[in-house]
């Protein structure tokens, strides 16, 4: 049985039309209602360069390294609580079924049902919302499915995990901003290293989650690497270039080596793109994939990047 791992990032919810960007949150009454006496709130309000969630996570690192903050735990907890309340009030009742995000899960479910004896699918959801579960249930229609969902950063039914998960130095007294310090944080290393197929949708491979993806890409340019098929979907040429640059950074400038040691393909899913594929989950049929999987591990990447992935 092929182990399929699907990584879902914030670009997924954004593609569904949900206001889950950092700009949406910071402009809301939930963020505005934080105490004016909060040093962290004032700091973030004055950092005009914070546009995406990755900017927030990197700003947190700068904040804790600038000086000691006695009220950090309380301020950081209040920020997480405000975000949780904001996301809990989003309306998920009418998700657009024609969006690439919805169709992605729909095809994933249909493949899982049709080839239930061939795929063991685990979804590693980096989002806090329940959009994936909602779409999955709508598309499943009671059919048997070998698929599980794990919320890497917690979810709105429990405590969410906010913070940083990169390689930057963080003072011991400020460890609260490390995602791994939260007991709701789920370790996903075993899933990535042990999977036969990896699909990523809506994740920018940003620096704040570099500890997740860098070891994987580094492994694929090493001498011991097994040849894998890597398909990277992006939105428009600038989106493709951003993804290529991130891989270059994580592999020490070895994108060309990655392409030489693996079957790598970048596909532009923009509506006017000639390389757009009919299938969202994979540019080849499942039958073809199963045949190829017999001679080696196959890896498929979905990276939906509409300049708002994180």
Q: Has residue 178 been placed in a domain?
A: no
Q: Are residues 146 and 51 in the same domain?
A: no
Note the pLDDT tens digit of each residue in 214-224: 888 898 899 98
How much is the pLDDT for 270? 66
Q: Encoding tokens for residue 162?
A: 């906010």
Beta bridge partners of 124: 7, 150
Q: Are residues 30 and 79 in the same domain?
A: yes
Per cent of the chain over pLDDT 70 is: 85
Q: Are residues 241 and 283 in the same domain?
A: yes
Q: How many CB atoms lie within 10 A of CB 90?
A: 15
Q: Are residues 148 and 118 in the same domain?
A: yes
Spatial contact of 119 and 144, defined as CB atoms under 8 Å apart = no
Q: Are residues 32 and 141 in the same domain?
A: no
**DSSP assignment of 63-115:** HHHHS--TTHHHHHHHHHHHHHHHHHTS--TT--TTSHHHHHHHHHHHHHHHT
Q: Would you say residue 2 has pLDDT above 50?
A: yes
Q: Has residue 202 been placed in a domain?
A: yes
Q: Are residues 120 and 258 in the same domain?
A: yes
Note the pLDDT tens digit of each residue in 27-75: 899 998 887 778 998 899 888 778 888 888 889 999 999 888 889 999 9
Q: Are residues 196 and 239 in the same domain?
A: yes
Q: Are residues 11 and 117 in the same domain?
A: yes
Q: Has residue 169 been placed in a domain?
A: no
Q: How confident is the model at residue 186 (pLDDT cuts 50, 70, 90)?
A: low
Q: Has residue 31 been placed in a domain?
A: yes
Q: Are residues 140 and 267 in the same domain?
A: yes
How much is the pLDDT for 106? 93
Q: Are residues 207 and 287 in the same domain?
A: yes
Q: Are residues 13 and 148 in the same domain?
A: yes
Q: Has residue 171 been placed in a domain?
A: no
Q: State if pTM tops 0.75.
A: yes
Of 54, 48, 50, residue with least CA distance to 10: 54
More confident site: 218 or 303? 218
Q: Are residues 111 and 194 in the same domain?
A: yes
Count of domains observed in the chain: 2
Q: Has residue 310 been placed in a domain?
A: no
Note the pLDDT tens digit of each residue in 131-180: 999 999 999 988 888 899 999 888 998 788 888 887 888 888 888 888 77
Q: Has residue 175 been placed in a domain?
A: no
More confident site: 274 or 155? 155
Q: Has residue 143 been placed in a domain?
A: yes
Range of the domain at 70: 22-88
Tell me the CATH number at 249.
Answer: 3.40.50
Q: Would you say residue 274 has pLDDT above 70?
A: no
């Amino acid at each position: 049985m092929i182990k399929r791992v699907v990584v879902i990032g914030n670009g997924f919810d954004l593609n569904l039309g949900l206001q889950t960007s950092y700009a949406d949150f910071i402009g809301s009454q939930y963020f505005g209602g934080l105490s004016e006496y909060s040093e962290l709130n004032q700091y973030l309000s004055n950092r005009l360069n914070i546009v995406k969630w990755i900017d927030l996570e990197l700003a947190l690192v700068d904040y804790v390294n600038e000086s000691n903050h006695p009220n950090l735990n309380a301020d950081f907890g209040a920020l997480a609580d405000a975000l949780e309340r904001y996301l809990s009030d989003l309306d998920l009742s009418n998700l657009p079924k024609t969006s690439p995000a919805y169709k992605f899960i729909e095809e994933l479910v249909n493949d899982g049902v049709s080839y239930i004896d061939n795929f063991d699918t685990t979804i590693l959801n980096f989002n806090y919302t329940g959009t994936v579960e909602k779409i999955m249930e709508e598309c499943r229609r009671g059919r048997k499915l070998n698929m599980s969902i794990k919320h890497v950063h917690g979810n709105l039914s429990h405590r969410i995990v906010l913070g940083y998960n990169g390689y930057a130095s963080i003072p011991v007294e400020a460890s609260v901003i490390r995602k791994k310090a939260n007991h709701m944080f789920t370790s996903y290393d075993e899933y990535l290293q042990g999977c036969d197929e990896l699909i990523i949708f809506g994740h920018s491979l940003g620096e704040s989650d570099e500890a997740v993806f860098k070891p994987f890409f580094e492994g694929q340019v090493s001498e011991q690497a097994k040849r894998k098929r890597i398909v990277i979907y992006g939105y428009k040429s600038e989106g493709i270039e951003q993804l290529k640059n991130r891989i270059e950074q994580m592999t020490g400038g070895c994108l060309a080596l990655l392409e030489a040691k693996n079957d790598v393909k970048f596909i532009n899913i923009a509506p006017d793109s000639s390389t757009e594929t009919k299938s969202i989950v994979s540019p080849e049929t499942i039958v073809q994939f199963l045949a190829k999987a017999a001679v080696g591990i196959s890896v498929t990447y979905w990276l939906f990047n509409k300049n708002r992935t994180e």
